Amino acid sequence: MKKVKTAQELKILQEEIQNSRDPEKPCITICAGTGCLTYGSQKLVDNFKAEIEKQNLNGKVEVRASGCHGFCERGPLVVINPQKILYQRVGLDDAEEIIKETILNGQIIDRLLYIDPVTQEKILHEDEIPFYKRQMRLVFGMNGNIDPNSLEDYLAIGGYSALIKVLNGMEPETIIEEIKTAGLRGRGGGGFSMGLKWEATRNAPGLPKYIICNADEGDPGAYMDRSLLEGNPYSILEGMLIGAYAIGSNTGYIYVRNEYPLAVKNITIAVEKARKLGILGENILGSGFDFDVVIVRGGGAFVCGEETALIASIEGRSGEPRAKYVFPAERGLYNKPTNINNVETWANVPLVINKGAEWYRSIGTENSKGTKIFALVGKINNTGLVEVPMGITLREIVYDIGGGIPKGRKFKAVQVGGPSGGCIPESHLDLQVDFDALSKVGSMMGSGGMIVMDDRTCMVDVALYFLKFLEEESCGKCTPCREGVHQMRLILERITEGNGKEEDLKTIEWMGKAIIDGSLCGLGGTAPNPVLTTLRYFRDEYEAHIKGKTCPAGVCKALITYTIDPDLCTGCMVCARICPVEAATGEKKEVHFIDQNKCIKCGACFESCKFDAVKVS
Amino acid sequence: MAEMVTLTIDGLKIHASAGTTILEAATDSNIYIPHLCSNEELAPYGACRLCMVEIIQGERARLVASCIFEVADGLEVKTNTERVLNVRRLVIELLLSRNNKHPALRKIADELGVKETRFPVEQKGCILCGQCVRTCREVVGVSAIGFSGRGITRKIATPFMESPPDCIACGSCVYVCPVQVIPMKEENGVRTIMKYDYPMQKCRKCGQYFAPKKQLEYFSKITNLPLEHFETCVGCR
C-alpha cells in the first residue's frame, strides 16, 4: 500500500479494499491469541496453510490467524466464514479433515461442535452459543474478523472511518464534547471521565503535550488489554490519534508490560505499517497534524500500572508513584500536560466517533455508559473474555454467559477488581455491574478481572493471596503500604496456620482503614479491600480459623487432614498411584490408608477419588 | 512578591504565601504536625505519612500529606481528627517495628499515646525516610547512595553494594538521619562511614587530620581550584 496523503485518499483505499473482498469467499479463522497459542494453535494455522497449498486452494480459500475470540475455555477455536460455523477444541491435526469435509464437501464435523450443557444440543453457529449470545461484543468482537498484523483487514472492516470523520472537519472541542457526552469512563479501574481528562489536558498550559496508553495490565487473572492489543492494535492507534488531535499532542507513548511479547510484537508491527501508510508521522492525511508513537516496555512491576509510577518509568526513573495533588493532565510526563488512558478506553473512542455519543449513551446505566470487557476466570465453566453492556447483573454473567460453576460445586463469591477490589457473595449476585453499584458494596469495577470462587475456596486464603501479591509489588516508598501490607500479610498467614489471635480481626480492621487513608497511591490505598470485603461477608470463616482452628472450605493446609472413609473406599489404588509422596497406600481391592506423617496436603487424592472416599476435615 | 492566601488550620485563620506547603504554614504559626521525612533543605517527599492532615474542600473531606500539599485560599485543615490520628498511630507502630529504640520515634509515639508496637519487632534501624539519599542527591549533588529493592525489601544501598565511587565522605547523610543509624567514626587518619574507609587529609600547616581526601578532591573539581588550595584546615588559612 502506498502512502495516503489526504482523508479522501484513505477513504478511497478503504472502499477499494472493501470492494475487493468477496464476503462469500470461504475464510478459515483460527484464534491465535496467546491463550489458544498455548494450546498449539500456531501449528494448526500452519497445518491449514499447508493443506490449502496441497489441495490447490490458494486464492480460493482464506486462512486467517486472528487475535483472541474470547471463548478461551473451548480453544483452539476455528470459525468457518461466511457461515460463522464454530469448531471448538480443534485438534492440531484436524486441519485436513476440516478442509476436506467442511470447506470442500460442505459437511459439518459434529464432534467439533459446541454442545449446549442444558439442552444437550449441538450448536452450529458462533452467535447461537449462549456464551456469545448474551454478550455485546462491540469492541472485542472485531478480533475475529481481522489478522492483527494486516492493516488492510482493519480497513476492510471500516477501520479508520473515525479518523477520516475527525480530520474531515471535526474541531478538537467538538470531539472532546462528543466523548464527554457519550459518558465514556476509564476502563482501567479509575472510571474517570475520558472527556474531562482530555479537556483538562488540552486546557493546561505548557507544551508539548503527551498522551499515553497504559497497557501495563497487572491484575492477576486479567487479560482483556493483552487480547485487545494483540488482536486489534489498530483500534488503539486510531483512538490515540483522535485523542491526540483533540488534545493537541504530537507524541503518544504506549507503555506495555514486557510480559506480553505478542502484544509488543503486534503493536510494533501496527505502528510501522501505520507509518508506512502515512497515518502516523507528519502532516497526517494533509491535516497539518503530526503524531507519532513511542513503544515503551515495562520492566516487571505491577505498581507501574499506576499512572505517576508509569510516567516515572518512561522517564527512566524508578517506578515510584508521587502524590496526585496535581494531576498528570497539568504536570505529567517530563512535567508537561499528559493524558493517560487505558487500552480498552482508547479502543472505545473510534466507536463513539463513528456511531455518535447519543448512540453510545443508549447502552449501559445512568452513570456507566457503553460496554465493559471482563476476564471471567476461576471456578467457572466458560472461562474467557466477555464483553457486556454496563448494567448487566453478576448473575447473568456468571450463569447465563459463564455457564455456572463446574463439577456441580456451589457458587461462593466473585472477586471483581483484582487486588484493589472486593469479593461479592451470592446475596449480591443480582447487582448490576457498573462503576457505582460495585463501589457501594465495597468492591470496584477495576480493570475487568472477575474471579469466580466455589465452596472449596477459603476466603481467608484468598485475602492472603492478594496481600502476598501486593506486598511483593509495593514500591516501598510509603510506610502504610510497605510496612502495613507486610504486617497484615503476617497476621493473615498466622490465621491460616492456626495461630490466629482474638484481637487479630480488630487489628486488621483498624489497619485497613489507616492504610487506605494513609497510603501515597492507589496500590496501598486499595490494598486492604480484599481483606475487608472478605471480612465483611465471610466473617464466620475468619472466626472458624481463629477460634475453631479449622478451615471450613478445607483449604488451609495446616488446618486440614485428608482421611479415607473405609466404607466408601473400593481399593482402586488411584490415590496411591497419584500421591506424590507415597502417603496414600493400600493393596488392590483393600481399604486404603493415608499416613499423616507423610501427607503434604496437596489434595491430589481428594481430586482423583471417583468414589468420594477421601474426606477433608 | 508571592500572592498571599488565607486558610484555616484547626480553626485558626492563617495567612501564607501561595506555593508554601500546609506543613510550612503550620510550623510558621507554631502548630505542631509530626513529621520524619520532611526537611526544609529538601524537596518534599511524602513517604513517612506522619504529617497527614484532613482537609475540607467544598463537600469533600480527605487526608493529604501536609509536607507536599500546597496552601490554597479558603482551605480548611484539621490536624488532629480521628482519621488522622489513626493513620499516625499506625505509622508510628509500623516504624517502631523497625526501630523501637530511637528517642525521635519514642517521642512521637508518646505524643500519640502509643506505648508499644503490637507488631513483631525486627530491628532494622533505618526508617526509610530517604533523607540521606535525598540530601546526597539534592544538597551534596553526588548521589553516592540510593534505594535498592522493592517493597518491604527496600533499603539504602551503594551501587552494587560496593564502596560508593562517588561518595566524598562529607558525612551529610550521617548528620541528617533522624534516627542516627548511619555509623561514622574517625581513627588514625581514616574516616569510616557505614563500612567504607576514607583516608583523611593532614593540614599542611598544623598537621591535624581535618577532612577526607575525597571531599577536598571534589571541592577542587567543582571550583576548578588546585587541590593544594584546599589542603589547609580552616583554622590555619
Q: What are A596's three cell numbers?
A: 499423616
Query: What is the distance in angstroms between the CA of the first residue and the CA of the last residue of chain B?
Result: 41
Q: What is the mean pLDDT of residues A406-426?
A: 94
pLDDT tens, position by position, B119-169: 999 999 999 999 999 999 999 999 999 999 999 999 999 999 999 999 999
Which of A420, A519, A521, A412 is CA-nearest to residue A467? Answer: A420
Nearest residue to A491 via CA among A521, A531, A549, A452: A531
Contact A373, A448 (CB under 8 A): yes
Q: Please identify, in words, the CATH class of the domain defined by A371-454.
A: alpha beta
Per the CB < 8 Å rule, is B86 touching A301? no
At residue A130, the pLDDT reads 95
Sign of CA pseudo-dihedral A343, A345, A349, A351 = positive
The identity of residue B4, as a single letter, is M
- Which residue of chain A is at minimal alpha-carbon distance from B128? A477
Say whether pLDDT at A231 is over 70. Answer: yes
Contacts of residue A323 in chain B, CB cutoff 8 Å?
Answer: 46, 64-65, 68-69
**Element holding A314 (H helix, E strand):** helix A307-314
pLDDT at residue A142 in the model: 96
Find where cell 588550595 sits. B229
> A484, A488, A325, A481: which is closest to B53 by C-alpha?
A325
From B48, B68, B147, residue closest to A479, measured CB to CB: B48
Task: Report the CATH architecture of B4-111.
Answer: Roll (3.10)
Per-residue confidence at B2, pLDDT binned at 50, 70, 90?
Answer: confident
> Which chain A positions have a beta carbon within 8 Å of B49's beta carbon?
478-480, 518-520
* pLDDT at residue A221 is higher than 80: yes
Using DSSP's 3-state secondary structure scheme, residue A215 falls into strand
Residue to substitute from A483, A492, A516, interface B, most B β-carbons within 10 A: A483
Closest CA to A565 of A602, A597, A617, A612: A612
Say if A61 is an interface residue toward chain B (CB within 8 Å).
no
So what's the pLDDT on residue B59?
83
Percent of chain B at pLDDT exceeding 70: 100
Asked whether residue A392 carries a pLDDT value surpassing 70, the answer given is yes
- CA-to-CA distance for A150 and A531, rounded, in angstroms? 45
pLDDT at A617: 80
A322, A323, A484: residue with CB nearest B94? A484
User: How far out from the chain centre does Cα A328 lie?
Assistant: 25
Backbone angles phi, psi at A85, to 5 degrees: -80, 130
Q: Where in chain A is the domain with CATH 3.10.20.600?
A: 371-454
Residue B1 has pLDDT above 70, yes or no: no
Give the phi and the psi of residue A369 in degrees, each rounded to 5: -95, 155
Omega of the bond prior to B164 within 30 degrees of 0, cis? no
Distance CA B35, CA B108 (A): 9
pLDDT tens per residue, range A434-478: 999 998 888 889 999 999 999 999 999 999 999 999 999 999 999
Burial label for A35, CB within 10 Å (0-12, 13-18, 19+), is: buried
What is the reported pLDDT for B57? Answer: 81
SS3 state at A71:
coil
In tens, the pLDDT along A514-564 reads 999 999 999 999 999 999 999 999 999 999 999 999 999 999 999 999 999
Under a CB-based contact definition with an 8 Å cutoff, are residues A253 and A365 in contact?
A: no
The cell for A244 is 491526540
Nearest to B86 among A474, A475, A514 (CB): A514
What is the Cα–Cα distance from A70 to A375, expressed in whole angstroms?
9
Query: Residue A478 and residue B147: Cβ atoms within 8 Å?
Result: no
Instruction: CATH 3.40.50.11540 in chain A: give the residue spans.
Output: 159-360
Nearest CA in chain A to B96: A483
Output the CA–CA distances (angstroms, integers) from residue A206 to A282, A328, A329, A331, A334, in the order listed. 21, 12, 10, 9, 11
| Cβ-based contacts of A486 with chain B (< 8 Å) | 151-152
Given CA atoms B64, B65, B69, B75 in this order, what sign does their dihedral have? positive
CB pairs under 8 A between A and B: 100
Buried b / exposed e over A262-298, threshold 16 CB at 10 Å, is bbbebbeebbebbeebbbbeeebbebebebebebbbb
- Interatomic CA distance for residues B154 and A478, integer angstroms: 11
Of all helices (H) and strands (E), which one includes residue A357?
helix A357-361
Which is it for the CA torsion A76, A80, A86, A91, positive or negative? negative
Residues of A in contact with B97 (CB under 8 A): 483, 487
Radius of gyration of chain B (CA): 22
Query: Which positions in chain B touch A517 (Cβ < 8 Å)?
Result: 52, 63, 83, 86-87
Bridge-based pairing state of the strands A449-454 and A584-585: unpaired
pLDDT at B237: 84
Q: Is A390 helix (H, G, I), strand (E, B) or coil?
A: coil
Domain A459-546 belongs to what topology? de novo design (two linked rop proteins) (1.20.1440)
CB interface of A with B, residues 76-135, below 8 Å? none
Decide if A473 and B150 are in contact by the 8 Å CB cutoff. Answer: yes
Q: Is the predicted pLDDT of residue B39 greater than 80, yes or no? A: yes
**Minimum CA–CA partner of B21 in chain A:** A325
- Say what the pLDDT of residue A443 is: 86
Q: How far is B120 from chain A (nearest CA, A)?
A: 9
Which of the listed CATH numbers 3.30.70.20, 3.40.50.720, 3.50.30.30, 3.10.450.50 matches domain A561-616?
3.30.70.20
Nearest to B87 among A322, A490, A514 (CB): A514
**Beta pairing, strands A371-378 & A384-389:** antiparallel
Confidence of residue B96 (pLDDT cuts 50, 70, 90): very high
C-alpha distances (whole Å) from A153 to each of A53, A181, A233, A235, A350 are 22, 30, 12, 12, 16
B131-236 has which fold?
Answer: Alpha-Beta Plaits (3.30.70)
Residue A279 has pLDDT above 90, yes or no: yes
From chain A, the residues in CB contact with B67 under 8 A are none
Residues on chain A touching B95 (C-beta within 8 angstroms):
479, 483
Q: To which H or E segment does residue B77 belong?
A: strand B76-78
CATH topology of domain A159-360: Rossmann fold (3.40.50)
**Average pLDDT value over all residues in chain A:** 96
C-alpha grid cell, residue A150: 494486516
Homologous superfamily assigned to A21-145: Glutaredoxin (3.40.30.10)
ipTM of the complex: 0.96
In whole angstroms, what is the distance from residue A195 CA to residue A182 CA?
A: 9
Chain B residues within an 8 Å CB radius of A507:
118
Nearest chain A Cα distance for residue B8, angstroms: 19
Which residue out of B96, B119, B150 would a mutagenesis test of the A interface target, given it has the greatest number of A Cβ atoms within 10 Å? B150
Touching B: A residues 316-345, CB under 8 Å: 318, 322-323, 325
Task: Please state, in angstroms and rounded to a whole number, the distance separating the CA atoms of residues B115 and A365.
Answer: 51
Sequence letter at residue A86: L
Q: Is A295 helix (H, G, I), strand (E, B) or coil?
A: strand
Cell numbers linked to B144: 553516592
* Neighbour order of strands in the sheet with A292-298: A292-298, A251-257, A210-215, A338-342
Phi-psi region of A113 (alpha: psi -120 to 50; beta: other; left: phi over 0): beta
DSSP code string of A8-70: HHHHHHHHHHHHHS-TTS-EEEEE-SHHHHHTTHHHHHHHHHHHHHHTT-TTTSEEEEES--S
Task: Map A401-450 to HEC letters.
Answer: HCCCCHHHCCEEEEEECHHHCEEEEHHHCCCECCHHHHHHCCCCCCCCEE
The residue extents of the domains of chain B are: 4-111, 131-236
